[in-house]
Amino acid sequence: MTSTMLRPGDSGYDDELAGFQTAVRRRPDVIVAATSAADVVGAVRYAGEHDLPVAVHSTGHGLTVPFEGGVLVTTQRMTGIRIDAESATARVDAGVRWGAVIEAAAVHGLAPLSGSFPGVGVVGYTLGGGFSLLGRKYGLAADQVTAIDVVTADGELRHVTAVTEPDLFWALRGGRDNFGIVTALEFRLVPVTRLYGGSLQFGTESLPTVLRAWRDWTAEMPREMTSSLTMVPMPDLPMVPEPLRGKHVAQIRIAYLGDAAEGERLVAPLRAAAPVLGDTLAEIPFTESGSIANEPPFPHGYRADNVTVTELNDTMLDAVLEHAGPGAPVPTVILLDLLGGALSDIPDNPGVGWDREARFTVRALSVVDDAALTEIRAAHGKLFDALSPWSTGKLLTFVYGESSPDEEAAKVYSAADLRRLREVKAAFDPRNRFRLTHNVQPGRDTE
Ligand SMILES: Cc1cc2nc3c(=O)[nH]c(=O)nc-3n(C[C@H](O)[C@H](O)[C@H](O)COP(=O)(O)OP(=O)(O)OC[C@H]3O[C@@H](n4cnc5c(N)ncnc54)[C@H](O)[C@@H]3O)c2cc1C
């Protein structure tokens, strides 16, 4: 192995654990700072020899479950990217972030199905489904995956495709690190270089009107339009521009794959819905797609949960305002995502854990420094209870909670999918070595 092994007390141990999410404490017995697939093989074999559980960390955007002990493999030094312009595909190593792939693909007039924030890791995002800025046109990032290199619990490095290992190929795309540590991903790119995108911002007084206007507007949108609405309590701080400072702001995010004139025509009803406090809509190169959401780049602690829903009726929007609006007991960011389009299509080789029948997601996120965990849990719980009559599921990739890893898996997957996942787990990880995050237990259910 060329990797470094770090133990508690070693210099560099705490730095190696640092990531975007700061509210989840982990204290592994050993950190393996991997530089290659061979290092990952060595780490998993070491864990097997010492009967230790194993987890993996890339950027720390998706940290959810605290743990003590075991082996943690970090992948941030595995940064290789290869673009094949002829086949319009990419091969990326486990530690690559979306920003680097966006830049490398753009040279060839191509784009990946990346999300709102370029700092997010490709592998964690894609294994969670991958809800892209281009999602309604091109589907989930997970649907574009053609091959996965993964080190399974037996310490073997496998090249997994729909043909070589169909069950594992299915389970990894949605089951995430339950089935092994991915060392590289291969996936298709799409022919996108520019889009019409940005956001419209509205103030506190406009929230009820804007929520309804966006909901009504989404009913007529073509697949080329991907859009979300966020509701954000803006801090009263100098870093926030004056018209938005201290306000509860609705931000409508737009990513439209068409010409700017048609984009302008489509968003006109939104601009007319209420006084616009900020407007960044313009034709932009895809390399600037991170500016659409303009999410804060600095690490912080957060808790979040979500539901997928079949509709957004007035009762539901009132519940969103009551439990997460300006008068809510806990400052909460709401994200409503329009699904449908290609996100509802079933590809030849789908993964698991994505609700293709849902029409919207409702996500709630609170910063841990702003409120105690018990208050956040209670506030989010009230919101999701109110939405439960219309809820069809939830997406694991947007769960940043503390409930037991086993419980969360049972909420995310259908009973039939969970049964199949448990069987795949029994075949590839019978001792449940990969159990430190949201866990699928190995086993065969008797019906
Ligand atoms: C600011 C922000 C914006 C986001 N925007 C989007 C978005 O637009 N669309 C979307 O779909 N999601 C989005 N997400 C969610 C994001 O996709 C998940 O949090 C994802 O898990 C992050 O992956 P990571 O590798 O960056 O994080 P990490 O915390 O390093 O990893 C999270 C999890 O990913 C899995 N994982 C990571 N590397 C490997 C590996 N090598 N092998 C096996 N499993 C691995 C593991 O389960 C791990 O616990 C966003 C999150 C944040 C914080």
The predicted pLDDT at position 446 comes to: 56
Atom of ligand 1 nearest to the CA of 20: 53
Q: How far apart are CA 236 and CA 242, in angstroms?
A: 9
The predicted pLDDT at position 173 comes to: 98
Any ligand 1 atom below 6 A from CB of 57: yes
CATH assignment of 194-398, among 2.60.40.420, 2.40.70.10, 3.40.462.20, 3.40.50.150: 3.40.462.20
Any ligand 1 atom below 6 A from CB of 125: yes
Pairing of strands 30-33, 71-74: parallel
Distance 61 CA to ligand 1 centre (A): 5
Any ligand 1 atom below 6 A from CB of 61: yes
Which of these, 240, 295, 249, lies nearest to 275 by C-alpha position?
A: 249
Residue type, 301: G
Any ligand 1 atom below 6 A from CB of 365: no
Nearest CA to ligand 1 atom 35: 124
- Which residues partner with 308 through β-bridges? 361, 393
Distance 125 CA to ligand 1 centre (A): 4
Classify domain 4-74 at the CATH topology level: 3.30.43
Atom of ligand 1 nearest to the CA of 116: 8
Distance 336 CA to ligand 1 centre (A): 19
The predicted pLDDT at position 267 comes to: 98
The predicted pLDDT at position 412 comes to: 85
Residue reference for tokens 């993996």: 56
Q: Are 22 and 299 in contact, with CB atoms under 8 Å apart?
A: yes
Distance 222 CA to ligand 1 centre (A): 28
- CATH 3.40.462.20 occupies which residues in the chain? 194-398
Q: How far apart are CA 189 and CA 206, in angstroms?
A: 39
Instruction: Transcribe 207-267 into DSSP letters.
Output: HHHHHHHHHHHHTT--TTEEEEEEEEE--SSTTS-TTTTTSEEEEEEEEE-S-HHHHHHHH
The predicted pLDDT at position 240 comes to: 83
For the full predicted model, state whether its pTM sits above 0.95.
yes
Q: Which residues contact 202 (CB under 8 A, 6 or more apart)?
A: 210, 249, 250, 251, 252, 273, 274, 275, 276, 277
- CATH 3.30.43.10 occupies which residues in the chain? 4-74
Q: How far apart are CA 406 and CA 418, in angstroms?
A: 11
Residue type, 140: L
Any ligand 1 atom below 6 A from CB of 117: yes
The predicted pLDDT at position 57 comes to: 97
Architecture of the domain defined by 81-188 = 2-Layer Sandwich (3.30)
* Backbone conformation region of residue 88, classed left if phi is above 0, alpha if psi is from -120 to 50, else beta: left
Q: How far apart are CA 3 and CA 237, in angstroms?
A: 43
The predicted pLDDT at position 1 comes to: 57
First CA to last CA distance, the chain: 45
What are the C-alpha distances in Å from 96 to residues 39, 317, 369, 379, 409? 16, 38, 29, 35, 26
The predicted pLDDT at position 243 comes to: 85
pLDDT along the chain (447 residues), means of 10: 87 95 93 98 98 97 92 98 98 98 98 98 97 98 98 98 98 96 98 98 96 97 98 88 89 97 98 97 98 92 94 98 94 97 96 94 92 89 96 90 69 91 97 92 75
Distance 362 CA to ligand 1 centre (A): 18
For 266, the token pair is 């489509």
The C-alpha angle 249, 19, 6, rounded to 5 degrees, equals 170
For 384, the token pair is 């999701």
- CATH 3.30.465.10 occupies which residues in the chain? 81-188
How many residues appear in the chain?
447
Question: What number of H helices and E strands is found in the chain?
Answer: 13, 20
Q: How far apart are CA 427 and CA 107, in angstroms?
A: 42
Tell me the three state secondary structure of residue 388. Answer: helix
- Which residues partner with 374 through β-bridges? none
The predicted pLDDT at position 404 comes to: 63
Q: Are 73 and 55 in contact, with CB atoms under 8 Å apart?
A: yes
Q: Are 128 and 437 in contact, with CB atoms under 8 Å apart?
A: no
